[in-house]
Amino acid sequence: MKALKIYGLALAIALAGSVATAYADEVGKPAAPFTVTTLDHHRVKLADLKGKVVILNYWATWCGPCKVEMVVFENYLRTHPGSDLKIFAVMTESDVPAYKLKPLASVLSYPIATAAGGGFHYGVKDGVPTSYVIDRSGVVRWAKAGAFDDRSFDELVTPLLKAAAPAEPQMVAGLKSAN
């Protein structure tokens, strides 16, 4: 019995290490393409958000820290109007009907997304809330589980917003851009 407990502890430690590595593997690399589908059925692709700071925030209705973090995001957006920050609150629960989310969506300055596709690069690997922060040039700068507070969010996002947006590719006379 004792050997079984030790094996279980070793397995838990190994899995925890692989989760931390899974998030760390994303940071500093170009963001994988994704598409989010908002509660009102709009589809937004990463490519549509060029030059913006983008946050994919995975949350659940039952998650207390997720709800507190939504207030952090909302406060930031209200105190930084017109910023190039795009936040998507991605639901992790598929069984919550849209009509139950509409009252919340009506008071948020950012959309609730009912789905986010783009492969294994995004999603919840170690609980909610989980956030991915992508800078203006399309590089993942943060990928981690855990809630932001006002200070930690400001310290991460404000410098990313102050950075210059990447220049658009120059067009050669008579040729169309590859974009």
Domains along the chain?
Answer: 2-162 (3.40.30.10)
Instruction: Decide if pLDDT at 146 tops 80.
Output: yes
> What percentage of the chain exceeds 70 in pLDDT?
80
Q: What is the pLDDT of residue 123?
A: 84
Instruction: Decide if pLDDT at 169 tops 60.
Output: no
The Cα–Cα gap between 27 and 135 comes to 11
The Cα–Cα gap between 127 and 160 comes to 25
Tell me the CA distances in angstroms from 114 to 48, 58, 94, one per residue in order: 18, 10, 8
> Given pLDDT bands bounded at 50, 70 and 90, which one contains residue 177?
very low
pLDDT 10s digits, 72-109: 999 999 999 999 999 999 999 999 999 999 999 999 99
pLDDT 10s digits, 34-75: 999 999 999 999 999 999 999 999 999 999 999 999 999 999
